[in-house]
Amino acid sequence: MARAEIVQPESPSRFERLRQWTRGRLVWLMVIIFVLWTAGPLSWSLLSSFKPRAEIYQGTILPQSPTLDGYRTAVGVDGFEWFLFNSILLATVSTVIAVFVSALAAYAVSRFAFRWRHVLLLFVLLPRLVPRISLIVPLYQILVEAGLLNTYLALIITYSASNVPLGTWILVGFFRGVPREIEEAAEVDGANMWQRMWRVVLPLALPGLITVGVLSFRDAWNEFPFVLAFTTAREMRTLPYALFLLDDAIGIQDWAAINAFALLTILPIVTIYLIFERRVVAGLTSGALK
């Protein structure tokens, strides 16, 4: 279209206006498609989670008589408190461990020159290339031998370890960005190494720590293969595992309850993400582009 217009230079302003008009509309059309694609599936689930069971089978889009029955059924699933507790516990503890361990390693790499530094860093970073699903076979054997099936310990160790490679990678970048002079000034004032790390470097690298924290939390909150393979006891399940088994748990397919349950598992992580959105986006892109 634009090409055709260029051939007629006698009225550029009119065609320029026309072009602007179409381009403006086109962008809006794309924005609408983008929003539909991204939010459509979610909103359909959200709307349906408020419908009474019978209404799901009728053709209405908006809930005609909104109800919280779906949410009641979801929360009422046998053992829901356990699943919620396990998810929060595992995600929180493994995030704290992952951030702490990554920060220590990244501090060492970015502040000290020592023998084998690059080899050791590579050893810590390489597991980024190892998909977690491939590990469930040998890890299961190891955990059986160690008698660690159905334990928080097994899940906490595996969850934390999965997030150390990316965490270290991101934090090395952030620590390198903290000027050495600040740390040296603190040293002149008599701060020892722990004080320098805790009071000077970590606060300055806080955006990095938050990024790693959110990423680790997301990963642990959504984790599925490990908890599927390494737990058999019902009270060890997490929310994703319970969601996986949900149609067995509530008998006939109650779509309002299924959607409600799914949304309940999504809500916390989306909330956390929205709070730290800008940091996470920056951290993610830097992690991938570097």
Window 41-80: residues binding other proteins (CB under 8 A): 41-42, 44-45, 48, 56-57, 59
- Residue with smaller CB distance to other proteins, 126 or 206: 126
Q: How many whole angstroms separate alpha carbon 11 and alpha carbon 5?
A: 9
> Token pair 């995030």 is at which residue?
95
Going by C-alpha positions, the residue among 196, 209, 190 that lies closest to residue 101 is: 209
Question: Would you count residue 269 as binding other proteins (CB under 8 A)?
Answer: yes
Which one of residues 10, 37, 248, 251 is an interface residue with other proteins (CB under 8 A)? 37
- Residue with smaller CB distance to other proteins, 37 or 65: 37
Question: Would you count residue 289 as binding other proteins (CB under 8 A)?
Answer: yes
Shortest spacing between CB 102 and other proteins, in angstroms:
7
Question: Would you count residue 115 as binding other proteins (CB under 8 A)?
Answer: yes
User: Exposed, middle or buried, 60 (CB in 10 Å: 0-12/13-18/19+)?
Assistant: exposed
Tally of helices (H runs) and strands (E runs) in the chain: 17, 0
Q: How many whole angstroms separate alpha carbon 270 and alpha carbon 272?
A: 5
Q: Which stretch binds other proteins (CB under 8 A): 62-70, 75-83, 199-207, 257-265?
A: 257-265
Residue 63 phi, psi dihedral angles, 5° rounding: -65, 125
Identify residue 279 by its one-letter amino acid code: R
Q: Which residues lie closer than 8 Å to 82 by C-beta, 6 or more apart? A: 234, 235, 237
Q: Which stretch binds other proteins (CB under 8 A): 10-18, 24-32, 71-79, 204-212?
A: 24-32
CA dist 92 → 107, 182, 226, 262, 269 (Å): 22, 31, 17, 20, 12
Q: How many whole angstroms separate alpha carbon 98 and alpha carbon 214?
A: 11
- Residue with smaller CB distance to other proteins, 67 or 222: 222
Question: Would you count residue 83 as binding other proteins (CB under 8 A)?
Answer: no
Shortest spacing between CB 204 and other proteins, in angstroms:
15
Alpha-carbon Rg of the chain, whole angstroms?
26
Question: Would you count residue 122 as binding other proteins (CB under 8 A)?
Answer: no
Which one of residues 80, 82, 85, 140 is an interface residue with other proteins (CB under 8 A)? 140
- Residue with smaller CB distance to other proteins, 85 or 229: 229
Q: How far apart are the first and last CA of the chain?
A: 39
Question: Would you count residue 237 as binding other proteins (CB under 8 A)?
Answer: no
User: How many of the chain's residues bind other proteins (CB under 8 A)?
Assistant: 105
Question: Would you count residue 11 as binding other proteins (CB under 8 A)?
Answer: no
Q: Which of residues 154-213 bind other proteins (CB under 8 A)?
A: 157-158, 160-162, 164-165, 168, 179-181, 183-185, 187-188, 193
Question: Would you count residue 273 as binding other proteins (CB under 8 A)?
Answer: yes
